[in-house]
Structure formats: C-alpha cells, structure tokens
Amino acid sequence: MKVRAIEIAPARVAFLRHTGPFGPALGEFWRGVVAPWMRDNGLLGRVTYGVAMDDPGNTPPEKCRYDACVEIGHDDPAPPPAALATIPGGRYAVADYYGDPAGIGEAWHAFYSEGLPSAGLASRPGPCFERYAADFRADPETGEFACELFIPVD
C-alpha cells in the first residue's frame, strides 16, 4: 500500500447521518437516501466524503455513526434534512483504494496496521474519512470504485 502525507484545507459540508452497522448498509444508505437527496438539491457532481464517526472495532454495531457528506459553498445552507459540518484541514496520510465495497474494511485495516508504520507516520485524534471525486462512478458490472482514504497524522 502506497501512503503519502499531504496538507488539506478544511472543507465545508452538508451531511446526512447513518446510525447502525457499517458494511452493505452504507452502500444502501448512499443509493437510497443520499444520492436522491443530492439530486433533489442540485448537489450532484461535487466532491463527497464518508466519515466514520466511530471505530466499528470498539463500538457496538447499532451505535456506529457514519456521515455521508457533500461539499457546499461557504455561505450555502444545508438543504434539509442535512446538517452542516467541517472536514478538518491539516496533515493527513492518504492511500488510494480501488475495489468493491466488501474490501474497503480490509483496506482500512491494512492502512492502519501496515501503511502508517511503513510510512513512518503516527495517527492523531480526528476523523478518518473517504473522499470521493466529483465525477465518482462505480463500475456497473463489478461495483468496484475508487476513493482516497484519509487518516489525520502528526
């Protein structure tokens, strides 16, 4: 796994929250709730983020929180029922992911257990997230997609 360290600026986002188990439920949340909300509010074609607010390794599945976020302008309101948040700026370790939804949990594990140490980086408190390009598309035949994984680092 190739890991790079970069500085990012804060990003203002509108988000919808999913509470419950991660895994296939998150894909269903994006397809069934988030994408229609984005379409209805003219937000398609923007950078999106998936922010795991809890570590599923030490949080009961029914209490895991995940925020599906879309970048919005500095003065734009959050279209209901969304809330506003800021993806914090700062230094992050970044790894590219390409694969199917079932493999992203393994990618996160490898990023933490192998990628960070091999890059000589240490995580710091803050949210970890996935960033999806404004032109995000999953392969219609395989379901595979590309995104970037971000871990805040010192």
Q: pLDDT digits over 23-78, tens only?
A: 889 999 999 999 999 999 999 999 999 999 998 889 999 999 999 999 999 999 99
Q: What is the tens place of the pLDDT at every residue in 96-115? A: 999 998 899 999 999 999 99
H helix intervals, the chain: 24-29, 35-40, 104-110, 116-119
Please name each of the domains of the chain with its CATH number.
Answer: 3-152 (3.20.80.10)
Distance between alpha carbon 83 and the CA centroid of its chain, in Å?
Answer: 16
